[in-house]
Each structure stands twice: as C-alpha cells, then as structure tokens.
Amino acid sequence: MSSIAADFPATRWTDQAMQSRLRRRYRSESLFKFLGFAAVGISLSFLVFLLGTMIWKGIGGLTLDFLRNSDSTDAATAGVWGALKGSFLAILVTMALAFPVGVLSAI
C-alpha cells in the first residue's frame, strides 16, 4: 500500500498533471468505445455486403420459371425445382428421424 502511495504522490484536482492525465484517460475511453462501435459496424457491413452482392447479382435470374423448372443443359430453361424438391425431401427425412429420437432422449 505504501509503495503505491510513493509511486503516485497526491495531486490536487486542479493540477496540470492531473488534468492532462484525466484527458488522456477520457481519450482512451472514447477510443475504446469507438473501437467497439467499429467492430459492430465492420461485422454488419460484411453482412450487408454479402447480402447485397447476393441480391444484386441474383435478383435478375430469380423468376417464376427458375423456381419451377428442373435442371437442364440449356441454361435458359434451367431451374431449381428439382434441387429444391431434393433439399425439401432431405429435410423431411431428417425431421422424421431426428424429431422423435431427439425429443424422446431429451426427456
């Protein structure tokens, strides 16, 4: 305890040294806050960039025919209905297996 008191001799509130130390601490405080804000901002801008690119490039190709047609060697008539149906069936099978087993073993 005494060593701390020796390292930091008592200063007055209005001292020049005290004032500059306080300014420095407040500066680091606002810097830290800004860093946190920047981290959130960067993460969110990644998300916006990702979704933006996806929508920007994808929206033109997303027509009703694209959803309804199955895959084809002709790119103009190709669609995702077959693939969607496959994914959907896979989800159904997974649910049919996982739901009872998961719920029962959790009980």
Partner 1 sequence: MSAGLTSLIVLLIAAAVGWMAYRHAAHLRTGGRLHSLPTYHGVHAALWVLAPALLVLAAWAPMQSRLIDQAVLATPEGEALPQFEMQRQAILDEARQIAHREIEAGFNPESTTIAPRITEAEGRYGSIGAIGAILVALGSAGIILLRRRDREFRARTAVERWMNGLLLVASLIAIFTTLGIVLSLLFESLRFFKLVPLTDFLFGLSWSPQTAIRADQAGSSGAFGSIPLFWGTVFIGAIIAMIVAIPLGLMSAIYLTQYAAPKVRSVVKPLLEILAGVPTVVYGYFAALTLAPAVRDLGIALGVSSASSESALAAGLVMGVMIIPFVSSMADDSIAAVPQAMRDGSLALGATRSETIRKVLLPAALPGVVGGVLLAVSRAIGETMIVVMAAGLSANLSANPFASVTTVTVQIVQLLTGDQEFDSAKTLAAFALGLVLFLITLALNLVALTVVRRYREAYE
Give me the residue label for tokens 């810097």.
31
Cβ at position 34, least distance to partner 1 in Å:
9
Instruction: Indicate the residue among 37 and 77 with the shorter CB distance to partner 1.
Output: 37
Instruction: Indicate the residue among 3 and 13 with the shorter CB distance to partner 1.
Output: 13
Give the binding site for partner 1 (CB under 8 A). 25-26, 28-29, 31-33, 35-40, 42-44, 46-47, 50, 53-54, 100-102, 104-105, 107
Contact 81, 72 (CB under 8 A): no
What values do phi and psi take at 83, rounded to 5? -65, -40
Contact 46, 34 (CB under 8 A): no
Instruction: Indicate the residue among 22 and 92 with the shorter CB distance to partner 1.
Output: 22
Instruction: Indicate the residue among 35 and 75 with the shorter CB distance to partner 1.
Output: 35
Cβ at position 46, least distance to partner 1 in Å:
5
- The Cβ-side half-sphere exposure at 51, using a 13 Å CA radius, reads 5
Cβ at position 79, least distance to partner 1 in Å:
18
**Residue 19 and residue 29: Cα distance in Å, rounded?**
15
